[in-house]
Every structure is written in structure tokens, then in C-alpha cells.
Structure 1
Amino acid sequence: MALFGTIVNGICIIAGSLIGLFFTKIPERYKETVMHGIGLAVILIGLQMALSTEAIIVVLLSLLTGAIIGEFIHLEEGINRAGDWIGSKFATTNDNISVAQGFITASLVFVIGALSVIGALDGGLRGDHEVLITKGVIDGFVALVLTTTLGFGVILSVVPVFLYQGSIALLATQITNWIPESFLDGLIGELTAVGGLLIMAIGLNLLKIVQIRVGNLLPSILTVGGVYYVYLLF
């Protein structure tokens, strides 16, 4: 079953988020310190991922093109509106944190990275779900911690996780017919690097060092494929 690992990953995120909802009624100073800890950890995760690049120009051009697209279509505003609408349908545990912030933060942390891609490919190509199950356990604990400070929006990240990893797993049996293995390996590295920088941006936002419109940078995750292809042509 190609989707088994993805399903387990999603269940772990939901379970961790639900448990985290019970730990939101803690003093504000605890939440603030925990948020700072999460922000620092998120920056470290992003930095480790960002260093996987072997072509910084690909990362730069992907971010630039993604930013232009995101700003042009006002992607972050749309995400915030969707988050506010969802928030109006569900009671939030922390009025100071929007559903959209929790959704974007958790989605980036859970979706972007080599584990998501490699795990989904292993599940689809070889029926080996060990990577995604391991990732699911990690994501479950991270979801628990994130939910205590970011609230209900974290649990919604299970949707992009399932769609992203599930799509890769289902297409994995044919992907090697379309994309050479050498190209795929390089693309995963650059995609991981771009995603790492976006995760670092999330960490900076959590620490309130700067407010980066991360939502408007999200298209760079898609443009990296085209940029990397053009890069190899030269």
C-alpha cells in the first residue's frame, strides 16, 4: 500500500496536535519561553536543511521568482483570510496567535525536507515505509509542542502533508520514467535548501526578530524545479 507511511504520518500529527491542545492553559511566561525555544530549534532545522544546497544560485533564483509570484497573487493575504475563516468556525486556545500562523509554520516544518520526499518515494517505489513512519513519530512530538503555543492551526497541516507525500508516493512508480535519477537527487537537495530557508524565516518570525511574509515565498518551493532544470542546461 503506497500510502501507508503517509497515513501513519498524518495520524501521528493529529494525535500530537490533539494532545497538545490539552496543554495550552499554562502561564503566559511559560508559553513565551517555549515559543523562543521552538523558534531557535526551527532556525537550527532550517539552517541544517539550507546547507544541503550545492548551487546557491538555484536557491536564490527560486526564492526571487517565488517571491514575485507570491506578492503578485497576494498569497499570504489569501492564506490569512482562509485561516481567519477557519478560526471563526473553531474555538482557538490562544487569541494572540492566528490559525494561519500555526498552519503555515507546521506545514513548512512537516512538509519540506528530504524525509518527506525520500520517504514517499520509498513507499511508492519499494513499499518501504520505515522512513515515513520514523518521520511520523518525530512529527507527532513536534506537533504536540507546536500546538501548545500555536494552537489549533497546527492540526490542519495534516492536509498538505497528506496531499504532498501522498501525491509523490502515488506517482513514484512512474516518476523514474519521467525524471532521471541524477536530476531527482539534485532537485531534492535544492528543494530541501529552499525549504530550509523558509523554515529559518518562520523561526525568525517566532522570535519576533523580523516579520517575513513567508506565505508569499511559498511558490519558491514550486519554482525550484524549473530553476534547477535551467541551471543544468548551462
Structure 2
Amino acid sequence: MPGIGTLINVATIVAGAGIGLALGHRLPERTREITTVALGMVTLLVAALSAMEVTSAALVAAVGGSAPVLIVLASLLIGGIAGSLLRLEDRLADLGGLVRRLFTRSRVAVGAGGGPEGTAAPQEGAHRFVEGFVSSSLVFVVGPLAILGAISDGLGNGIDQLALKATLDGFAAIAFAAGLGIGVMASAVPVLVYQGAFTVLGVALGNFLPEASVDALTATGGLLLVGVALRLLRIRSLPVADLLPALLVAPVLTAVVAAF
């Protein structure tokens, strides 16, 4: 049944976040911070492995020896321009704030009733919720398995890739939620929408991505994950969401260059 892989993925994120929230209240602040640092380091490792696909034999054979790096560069530039004009980073942050208000409206109302001291905690909680929602959403959505696994599921080729991603996301959600709170659980929503859309695309269009385009997409996604890792490690907060359109541009550019 198409879509079952994404549903399993969503379930593991929610379950992992629940475990992380339970552990987070029992762990000291230093321990919660180190879990986020560890996740950032692993994300950096996965990013490096994905980015190495820029040297794949299929991509080089399709577009030439020097073109893959230029394709990734052009994809990031074009995608970044489009994403910044669409304000994707701001919109994702706004979505996090909206979901938080829906989840915690009653508690915020009670806290705000206490005057200046009552409003400080809700404001701090809002920032923490949005940070957890944005950071975890990017990690769960940006990875190439989110696209490739969902398409494979839609094609009826099984859910092996999404099962692997679900396992990874479940453990990641534990670490995220322990350090960043309940916003991580809400990130299951964009995962459901994003992967669900690619599953429908797989059902409708079939296997439309050649191996070279997949490799270009994977390499571009790897560089986006570097930005996510830098955010998690608190080195620099990059607007990674503004670069997400690059994942759509990379396969198109690969096909165009390969045609000439």
C-alpha cells in the first residue's frame, strides 16, 4: 500500500520525540546539550557522505568530468534565490509558531495572565519550540531518503528506504526532543506532507529520475545538510530552508546538461 512507509516514519518521529521528552526532564542541561552536539556531528558525517555523490560515475558519465560541481553550485544559487524570494525560512518559522500556538494555547493564556513575569516564560518557550520544529523538520525532510524513499514507495518497490529513514529519524527525534522540546514532535507534520507528496508523484509519474539526476540531488542535499549541522553545532545559523528549492533544480539541470 503506497504511503505506509511515510506513516511508519511519522510514527517513529512521534514515538522518539515522546521518549526524548520523557528523558529530557530527567537529564541535566549539559547532557541535553551534548545530545544535540552529537546529532550535529553525525549530521555532518551524513552530509559529507551524501555530498561525495558529486563524483559518482553515473553523474560524471552523463554530464562530463567538471560539470557536476557546477551543477550543484548552480542549483544552490538558483534554488537559494528562489527560496529567499519566497521567504521559505521565515515561512517555516511562522509555521512552527502557528503549530505551537495550536498545541499550547491554553497554557500560554494561563502563563500570560500573570503580568510581565508570566509572559517571559511563554516567549522563551515559543523560541525553543520554533527552534526544535525548524531544526528537526530540516533534518527529517532534507535528506535524500525522504525523496527517494517516498518515490520508491509510490512506485510499489517496497518501503526499505523509508524503513531505514524511519529508524534513523526515531533515534534522532529522541536526541532532538531531549534538547529542544516538544517542537520536535510537531515536525512529523511537514514530514507527512512532504513525503506524502513525493509518494503521490511516484504513483502518478513512475520512475522519472535517472541515476545521474538522483546523484546530483543527493550531492546537493548533502551540502544542505552541512548547513543543518552548523546550526545544530551552533557555529552559524544558516537559512537552510531558503535553499530547499535547490533539490528540485539539481535533477532538472542535470537533465539539461546531459542532453547537450
Residue type of the alignment partner of 2:32: K
Residue-pair matches, total: 229
* 1:102-150 Cα distance to aligned partner (Å, 9 max, x none): 2232223222334333332332223522332232122211111111112
- In the TM superposition, residue 230 of structure 1 has moved relative to its aligned partner by 2.5
Task: Return closer, same or farther for 1:225/1:131 CA change in 2, 3 Å cut-off.
Answer: closer
Q: Is the 8 A contact 2:6 2:150 kept in 1?
A: yes
* 1:88-115 Cα distance to aligned partner (Å, 9 max, x none): 34358x7485333322322232223343
* 1:187-228 Cα distance to aligned partner (Å, 9 max, x none): 221112111111111111222222212122222222223322
Residue type of the alignment partner of 2:137: S
* Structure-2 residue corresponding to 1:18: 18
Unaligned runs of 5+ in 2: 56-67, 105-121
Task: Return closer, same or farther for 1:165/1:184 CA change in 2, 3 Å cut-off.
Answer: farther
**1:1-234 map, 5 Å:** 1-25=1-25, 26-54=27-55, 55-91=68-104, 95=125, 98-176=128-206, 179=208, 183-234=209-260
Aligned-pair Cα RMSD in Å: 2.4
Residue type of the alignment partner of 1:5: G
Which has the higher Rg, Structure 1 or Structure 2?
2
- In the TM superposition, residue 65 of structure 1 has moved relative to its aligned partner by 1.0
Residue type of the alignment partner of 1:126: G
* Structure-1 residue corresponding to 2:115: none
- Tell me how far apart the structure 1 counterparts of residues 203 and 97 of structure 2 sit (CA, whole Å): 39
- Tell me how far apart the structure 2 counterparts of residues 96 and 167 of structure 1 sit (CA, whole Å): 29
Identity among equivalent positions (%) equals 34
- In the TM superposition, residue 160 of structure 1 has moved relative to its aligned partner by 2.5
Task: Return closer, same or farther for 1:22/1:227 CA change in 2, 3 Å cut-off.
Answer: same
- In the TM superposition, residue 16 of structure 1 has moved relative to its aligned partner by 0.8
Q: Is the 8 A contact 2:155 2:206 kept in 1?
A: no
